[in-house]
Structure 1
């Protein structure tokens, strides 16, 4: 019955997207060229298909990319040039390779066990440790999914040692993947499928250090707020008693640190140093990340990555990101972005930066409720708001990062955030638990938006 319901949802979504395409395409729209008109129809159809999950997102994105070219809406160069001649895609590849190396080597688990054994004794202490480890690992493992599953493996071991019931373990699983939403935004490499995309959508280049300066304070505050809500809303069914002796046994199974682990640590340190000095060397973080990953495959100095390691780089993610970026990039060429800004967004936007932040937050959250996909919302909303606020003297980077952040933190159902959705199977939590957290977090997002705009003003973006 469940499979039939899921299939029906796909069929409804498929025809719903086609209806949206035909409705937009057949209705005369003044102020839009043929290319802009077709771009709008294809973009909205793609967003509907992404939101209703009619197929794996990369297939939908690939169809969108091909239709842009086949219908002469844009040239192949206009569709693919920015994603692939820029550093974003190469950063994603390098990040997946490095994350796979750290995860496979066991370095991350070794750090997590040492931290928990030393510092954690209570339920709240374990929640805090999850958020602290997520922040630390965001610098060491440049992708949220392997990072979260690595922390989950250690937390499950803690739960087994403490005879924790399934319900309490599910609460911790939700905490792990919920922590990744704000704390992955602290570093440019914290989520290489979203953070560089948000920067790219703004059209402003930033270094690793500049991004950290802009985003670290508001995202750490967001992480603290999320953590406190989880502590308040998800209490344990019984008091937690950490079995340190049992955890030390699990830790001992890792054995002595191997040469491969030591070389992995060396190259992670090298990567961090290169990221931190990118503003001095003027070398893009993307080129640096992939270069480090390639060095990890070399004999003598590496020997960490192998031919099989390329399996850690999912081509579906690359295609999906290309499509998501193409919505904004092609929209600028065809005039769709300008038309959306003039038509959908009110012309009398608030000049007060805090009222503007609240307006953008409401707008982005409403669209996100229906679209579901963070990247889809970014692709449609960021270019329109960047265009609409160009005369207000606010940096496009501030607008882009605000839209990205409030959308990424906003989820009522699991499909609203890919990290939350991905974690459901391994984390063991339910859609009901996700909704409970999401509803509690929603009012806090407005506070976070105000904090972001205040901080953006401090650092010179607004």
Structure 2
């Protein structure tokens, strides 16, 4: 029964984008719109639907959409592949590769647990340790999901479990505070760096194409670092006053950080390579 259900889901995932794309493609072209533009919209809609239904990984879906646009002559090869000539595209691609390295090698967790072992003696200390970890990883991890969902929030949840603070009434101990702070840290750290989140390079690209303003990685950082760091320092204090967690001192969190670091052991060769690549990328 489960096999039939799985097969049905796969068929649905494949059928939806195909049917949607064909339906739009064959529909009458609206007035004042060229057939090429309408066909491009059909490919775009089918691509978005495929990303949502996930018949294949998103990267494969995008490549298939690119091939369809070229083979149907909706776009010329030059136009379809023009994005690969953009330095911003390669910048964000390299950052995503480093992002995967931080997650798969365990370096991201090591950084977070190290900060926790140093500053986790109080609820505010835990908050800042998680925020500093997010800040360290932000230049190399443009995926907010990878940073927060893959590293920071799981550690915060483990801390809440150790301290007996689950969603609900016990969340008032410290869980509500940590969850809110981690959520607010993400847009702050993401705004500091051009590669802090995926939307930033898009803004840079639009500024260049629309206004003729070229925003470099260092230029973005210089403009954003002061206001963002002010927010970084003040936000946890404001949330601390508003939420007022019951647990003020948290020596257990420091112990948890030390124990997690000891379980990870010394830095592996892979972690060192990722760290070296990260530093090299920043210098570059």
Q: Which category of TM-score, normalised to the shorter sequence, fits these structures?
A: 0.5 to 0.7
Q: Which residue of 2 aligns with 1:188?
A: 194
1:161 touches 1:247 (CA, 8 Å); kept in 2? no
Q: Are 2:118 and 1:109 equivalent residues in the alignment?
A: no
RMSD: 4.5
Q: Are 2:255 and 1:245 equivalent residues in the alignment?
A: yes
Q: Which residue of 1 aligns with 2:220?
A: 211
Residues in 2 aligned to 1:147 and 1:231: alpha-carbon distance in whole angstroms: 23
- Alpha-carbon shift at residue 125 of structure 1 (Å): 4.5
- Alpha-carbon shift at residue 77 of structure 1 (Å): 1.8
Which of 31, 38, 43 aligns to 1:29? It is 31
1:99 touches 1:141 (CA, 8 Å); kept in 2? yes
TM-score (norm 2): 0.67
Structure 2: give runs of 5+ residues left out of the alignment.
none
Could you say what secondary structure the match of 2:137 adopts?
helix
Within 5 A, what are the aligned runs for 1:50-449? Answer: 53=53, 55-56=55-56, 57-58=58-59, 60-80=61-81, 82-139=82-139, 141=141, 143-148=143-148, 149-165=150-166, 168=171, 172=178, 176=182, 179-191=185-197, 193-202=198-207, 203=209, 204-216=213-225, 239=247, 241-243=250-252, 244-257=254-267, 261=271, 264-274=274-284
Residues in 1 aligned to 2:231 and 2:19: alpha-carbon distance in whole angstroms: 39
Residues in 2 aligned to 1:223 and 1:229: alpha-carbon distance in whole angstroms: 11
User: What are the superposed Cα offsets for residues 209-248 of structure 1, whole Å, 9 maximum, x if unpaired?
Assistant: 1122344456667778986897689776x64744033432
Residues in 1 aligned to 2:262 and 2:73: alpha-carbon distance in whole angstroms: 61
- The worse-fitting range, judged by mean Cα deviation, of 122-131 and 10-19 is 10-19
Q: Which residue of 2 aligns with 1:38?
A: 39
1:157 touches 1:247 (CA, 8 Å); kept in 2? no
User: What are the superposed Cα offsets for residues 341-377 of structure 1, whole Å, 9 maximum, x if unpaired?
Assistant: xxxxxxxxxxxxxxxxxxxxxxxxxxxxxxxxxxxxx
Residues in 1 aligned to 2:41 and 2:241: alpha-carbon distance in whole angstroms: 44
- Alpha-carbon shift at residue 78 of structure 1 (Å): 1.0
Residues in 2 aligned to 1:36 and 1:152: alpha-carbon distance in whole angstroms: 42
Residues in 2 aligned to 1:14 and 1:221: alpha-carbon distance in whole angstroms: 49
1:13 touches 1:54 (CA, 8 Å); kept in 2? no
- Alpha-carbon shift at residue 64 of structure 1 (Å): 3.3
2:95 touches 2:142 (CA, 8 Å); kept in 1? yes
- Alpha-carbon shift at residue 156 of structure 1 (Å): 4.0
